[in-house]
Structure 1
Amino acid sequence: MGGSAMMGDGPMMGGWMMVACMAVGLLVVIALVLAIAALIKYLRSDGRRDH
């Protein structure tokens, strides 16, 4: 009975929490990919300078 009351009371809150968690996770993944790409670019360009 408690489970059905919980489902009846908070699907929107649970949905928003899930969306927020997915958005934060996506931002973290994007930040990690960009950081790794910048690190690779830095390490590759460090050996040979085009100045």
Structure 2
Amino acid sequence: MMTSVCMSGGGMALMGLFGLLVLAFIALGVAALIKYLFSSPRL
């Protein structure tokens, strides 16, 4: 399935969108972790 998607013309756009989604999820996780660490009284 992935090979057929990569072979198509819109493969690069799809991979770019997937990369942006992964980056957004990572950024959300890091922000939540930082907020949790700073809000925690026991540092």
Q: Would the TM-score normalized by the shorter structure come out above 0.5?
A: yes
CA RMSD of aligned residues (A): 1.3
TM-score with structure 1 setting the length: 0.63
Unaligned runs of 5+ in 1: 1-12
Task: Select the residue among 31, 34, 40 that pairs with 1:37.
Answer: 31
Once the two structures are superposed, what CA deviation does each residue of 1:2-41 show, in whole Å capped at 9, x if it has no partner?
xxxxxxxxxxx22x10011000000000000010000000
In proportion to residue count, which structure has more helix?
A: 1
**Structure 2 unaligned blocks of 5 or more:** 1-7
Q: State how far apart, in whole Å, the 2-side matches of 1:47 and 1:19 are.
A: 44
What is the percent sequence identity of the aligned residues?
A: 46
Larger radius of gyration: 1
1:47, distance to aligned residue in structure 2 (A): 1.4
Higher relative contact order (CA 8 A, sep 6+): 2
Q: 4+ residue stretches of structure 1 with deviation over 2 A?
A: none
